[in-house]
Structure 1
């Protein structure tokens, strides 16, 4: 994994990006090379739990234990958690009961174009909240 290779300069560049206020996430946590052994936990803001652990979490005790352990580990390190791929209400409810900070998946909403996403967000915001939309290029 390139994140732990100081020779490439990637780690220093990521620290610089984070110092500029950009939040960094470790995606697909718990699978393959996505583990805390490849990054300094103090240099990431969020762990994204791989959807393989989310699928049927309400029926699969092992997946539930894994997600709970990852959530507790992250909380202890001051890292936010997002669970990917919650497709059913039962999965969503299980993740909420465990205490995941955020959830992504069809149980929340299906992918949609920009204008529909703004409508969807606006309809679900508290009345006093204000939605600010930033547009532009990262280039």
Structure 2
């Protein structure tokens, strides 16, 4: 029997094995990328809600300290401030829904120390934040 000396190429089985193994690695990589993208999107949504809650807290605290006669109002699905010269109108960034857990703080002048709980919602997620508004009294 004569053996072939020129065996320079790959057999069909070797080509198929390389394709199957390569496809498995690609599927694994795509699955990991997809999971990472989902996780990143969820984390970004939480971060945006936290930023909106921080903005609402900062605006309410600043208005409360600067304006002793400010009123906190509910306009549709958002909170707004009235009776304050430097800040009036809607509180927050504008694309989120705000839910105030205690309605007794609305439509009245706020005292030196007020506690409220606000939930910030974006349609899919929500974040509840307790807020304490306080202003220092004057020393006489």
Question: Which TM-score bucket, shorter chain as reference?
Answer: under 0.3
Structure with the higher strand share, 1 or 2: 2
Q: Which of the pair has the greater relative contact order for Cα pairs under 8 Å at 6+ separation?
A: 2
Q: Give the TM-score of the pair, scaled to structure 2.
A: 0.25
CA radius of gyration, larger in: 2
Structure with the higher helix share, 1 or 2: 1
Q: Give the TM-score of the pair, scaled to structure 1.
A: 0.25
